[in-house]
Structure 1
């Protein structure tokens, strides 16, 4: 139960602060507006905060792709994997719902945006499906290489949260203009479902943001399980 609650809170925080930065501060003007770098750091620092806040309880996966990679690397049982997935999706839904409530109180109105991911016409840099699929799979793979590497035996564990958070910052700097960056099925599902009424297109495209991150996470997990990317003391 502790792990489930921790994963719920962690994913809730990531969606509320990360997506919130994109749609609240990102759509501001003048001194109230932030750019790609600001949004990237909002997501990354959310991970850093939760890594040190709940890491000792659940490992701070707050991402179904991370949990899959950890499972395939042989570092968690199947029962925990299912529990983590459920908690993460529920946390993302709750985070998106709270964000929607906050945005609904804007006097000048709100277009229904909740930081949904997407590709193609009308989305970010209008990259096509192949670009979106490749970016999300490769970025998630590299994200998991960092996570599984910095949390294996012999790694400097006290720096893990910082390393993981900064990796997510870099991923967002590169990918926001491609897909808005998911690398996390829960982060995409929450806003897509809660905001489906105003943006049904995001919900129609959410399959890619489930499939591609899971593929990338699984690939990293298998490589660590095989010993290819594991330190000798962890193999």
Structure 2
């Protein structure tokens, strides 16, 4: 990130980036899911992150995910005080993205948020393929850890310049291809928060898992990166 970027610009970028991720990613499931299937939804999420990496990566680092921000803190690349503001802005962006999606989806006759949802995550009866809570928790921890590991590696000092967005976006596509049948794929607490708040009910009751597991995964991914890399963090 450039040193001349103002704090408010970084925070605004995180809000906008997370809004775009939720609108495009969850929107692909709600609006076009029947046509594009799990594979199409996976690419929508991955490509949403990819384009935002190139759009705002130079401004905020394009975390757009509290688990990523958590990983950056653990890796020593970010201070906790700034991380808290990042997470707040990410959550606001996710809620706004879900609200915009709801307004758009409601424009179709027959849409019912209780039936069609907003691309929320879930386990048990709310899992797309009926996976139990334990399986969902393990999947979210492991998939998030892998995602953070890729992010830290592709943005490290030894990484090839200019290719981080591709590595991050493609990894998220693969993660969704595996994770959608299990939980709908979160690996991002803010992405789960926005739809769950509007849908309510079981989605809101199960939201805890999609905060706890990805945050654990984010920290774990950063620890694994620190173990395998000689790179020193810089939280300045």
SS of 2:125's equivalent in the other structure is coil
Are residue 5 (structure 1) and residue 12 (structure 2) matched?
yes
Corresponding residue number in structure 2 for 1:228? 227
Task: Name the stretch that deviates more: 72-81 or 184-193.
Answer: 72-81
1:54 aligned to 41, 56, 63, which one?
Answer: 56
Corresponding residue number in structure 2 for 1:30? none
1:79-98 → structure 2 map (5 Å cutoff):
79-98=81-100
CA RMSD of aligned residues (A): 1.2
Q: State how far apart, in whole Å, the 2-side matches of 1:174 and 1:123 are.
A: 13
Q: State how far apart, in whole Å, the 1-side matches of 2:101 and 2:89 are.
A: 18
Q: State how far apart, in whole Å, the 2-side matches of 1:81 and 1:233 are.
A: 20
Corresponding residue number in structure 1 for 2:3? none
Residue 223 of structure 1: CA displacement?
A: 3.2
SS of 1:158's equivalent in the other structure is coil
1:132-147 → structure 2 map (5 Å cutoff):
132-147=136-151
Runs of at least 5 residues in structure 2 that lack an aligned partner in the other structure: 1-7
Q: When the two structures are superposed, what TM-score results if normalisation uses the length of structure 1?
A: 0.92
Are residue 189 (structure 1) and residue 193 (structure 2) matched?
yes
Corresponding residue number in structure 2 for 1:179? 183
Corresponding residue number in structure 2 for 1:110? 112
Runs of at least 5 residues in structure 1 that lack an aligned partner in the other structure: 28-32
CA contact (8 A) 2:149 2:224 kept: no
CA contact (8 A) 2:113 2:199 kept: no
Corresponding residue number in structure 1 for 2:216? 215
